[in-house]
Structure 1
Amino acid sequence: MIDRLEKEVDMLERHLQVLKMVITNEPIGIVKMSNETGYPHHKVRYSLRVLEEEDLIEPSSQGAITTDRTDEFVSDLDGKLDEINEKLSGMKIDEVAEVEG
């Protein structure tokens, strides 16, 4: 159960790292992203596909570029991550034991 969550978090981290590269280097291609991140081409390609499906990036003839939706997503991201972090912190077993004890 936790292994699955850890894999999802790792994948989200990769997606966000790829998005950050697009934001700071647009247009940017798969090969450059793969070389700079160390992720294999197929993982970068998958992240790009996910980001495109979320309408956060779009392809261009020179490489991936951001969309009109990217800024809004980025501005909301920290708050959403903070909410998730609070939920995860509340799931700790030792905190439950302290409250009950």
Structure 2
Amino acid sequence: MIDRLEKEVDMLERHLQVLKMVIENEPIGIVKMSNETGYPHHKVRYSLRVLEEEDLIEPSSQGAITTETTAEFVADLDDKVDEIVDKLDGMKIDEMPEIES
């Protein structure tokens, strides 16, 4: 159960790293992103597809570029991550109750 969550967080981290590269270097292509991040081309391509479906980037003839909704998403991102972290902190079990077998 926790393994799946960790994989999702890793994938989200990759998506956000790809988005950050687009924001900082637009337009930017898959090959350059793959070389700079160390992620394989197919993983960068998948992240770009997800970001495009979320309307955070769009393709251009020179590479990926941001959209009108990117700035608003980035502005709200830290607060949303903080909310998730707070929720996860609330799930911690500081002292495990005695389990009878």
TM-score above 0.5, yes or no: yes
**Ranges of 4+ aligned residues in structure 1 off by more than 3 Å:** none
1:95 Cα offset (Å): 6.2
SS of alignment partner, residue 94 of structure 1: coil
State the Cα deviation string for residues 3-58 of structure 1 (Å, max 9, x = none): 00000000000000000000000000000000000000000000000000000000
In 2, the alpha carbon distance for the partners of 1:46 and 1:94 equals 38
Q: Which residue of 1 aligns with 2:54?
A: 54
Q: Which residue of 1 aligns with 2:30?
A: 30
Alignment RMSD (CA, Å): 1.1
2:12 is equivalent to residue 12 of structure 1: yes
SS of alignment partner, residue 72 of structure 2: helix
Relative to its length, the structure with more helix (as a share) is: 1
Give me the TM-score of the superposition, normalised by structure 2: 0.93
In 2, the alpha carbon distance for the partners of 1:39 and 1:51 equals 16
Q: Which residue of 1 aligns with 2:78?
A: 78
Unpaired runs of 5+ residues, structure 2, are none
State the Cα deviation string for residues 58-83 of structure 1 (Å, max 9, x = none): 00000000000000000000000000
Unpaired runs of 5+ residues, structure 1, are none
Identity %: 88
SS of alignment partner, residue 55 of structure 1: coil
